[in-house]
Structure 1
Amino acid sequence: MSDQKHEYHVDLTWKKGRIGTLSSPQLDDKIEVATPPQFDGGVEGIWSPEHLFVSSVSSCFMTTFVAIAEYSKLKFENIEVKATGKLSKEDGKFVVSEITLKPELTITDEKLIDKAKRIMEKAEEACLI
């Protein structure tokens, strides 16, 4: 990535009520988004900005881990990341006050556990989100 610049384009179209559709000229799939049900007028069962924010941190960790693992030649079977974001009210407005990631890595060689832990730490430090 060095000194290259990258752009990511996202378009949002209001659908109705508190629901919109995210799209990108760079991607095929669209994502329906809405106010989360914890807020007035919120909608159940649809991705919210809060879900997307937490998922951006989680997916950044995963993709960064995979890149570092490949570079470090760490062989692993699978990685899953459970993420929780906490919203709290500070100075009269809601903020994402905490995001907790719980990665679960499957490796077949126990001798690589320490190396895998170091790579997870590096991924957390290197993730740009």
Structure 2
Amino acid sequence: MAGKQHQYPVEVVWTGNHGTGTKTYQGYGREHEVRVAGKPVIAGSSDAAFRGDGAKHNPEDFLVAALSSCHMLWYLHLAAAAGVVVTAYVDEAVGNLLDEGQVGRFTEVVLRPRVTVSADSDADVAKRVHDDAHHACFIANSVNFPVRCEPRIVIESV
């Protein structure tokens, strides 16, 4: 049986032409906009380490955020199905990028979700659901580097 195809059209528009285009490496901005129909525009740039605007999101931020949010959304779904009541979820994810000059690559992303569950939820089940969420995450299944998950389960005080 063939799987169902989904498409995600995204328009990325370079806004960093300061008048001379890419005439010189130093003379152009790395600013751009990420546009998806019907959604707010996101201001982007390259990382400050790569001559970008550090106040704007960069592709590396987007990749780590995509992995984190995909895991979270699967986790919430699977937790609800397992009878685990999640009342709060915060992930302090970190992506590790190896910069080798003209070539760079992510070597891993570590997800560190702190999940608060209701007092009547089973903490062991809540922790095990992370493994299922990791295997279900579309984004984690699409990258060629390890995505590790180091969850912490907190039982809500009554």
Identify whether the pair has TM-score above 0.5, normalized to the shorter chain. Answer: yes
Flag the structure with larger Rg.
Answer: 2
In structure 1, the partner of 2:35 is: 23
**Aligned residue in 2 for 1:89:** 99
* Coordinate RMSD, CA, aligned: 1.8
Secondary structure in 2 aligned to 1:22?
Answer: strand
How many angstroms apart in 2 are the aligned matches of 1:35 and 1:111?
A: 43
Is the 8 Å Cα contact of residues 11 and 36 (structure 2) preserved in structure 1? Answer: yes
- Shift >3 Å, 4+ stretches: 89-92
Richer in strand (by share): 1
The alpha-carbon deviation at position 3 of structure 1 amounts to 2.8
List runs of 5+ in structure 1 lacking aligned partners.
Answer: none
Distance in 1 (CA, whole Å) between partners of 2:49 and 2:101 is 19
SS at match of 2:68: helix
Q: How many Å separate the matches in 1 of 2:101 and 2:135? A: 29
Q: Share of identical aligned residues, percent?
A: 26
Aligned residue in 1 for 2:22: none
Matches of 1:43 and 1:23 in 2, distance apart? Answer: 18
Partner of 1:36: 47
Shift of 1:72: 1.9
* Partner in structure 2 of residue 119 of structure 1: 129
- Give the Å deviation of 1:74: 1.5
TM normalised by structure 1 equals: 0.89
**Residue 88 of structure 1: how far off its partner (Å):** 0.4
Count residues in correspondence.
126
TM-score, structure 2 as length reference: 0.74
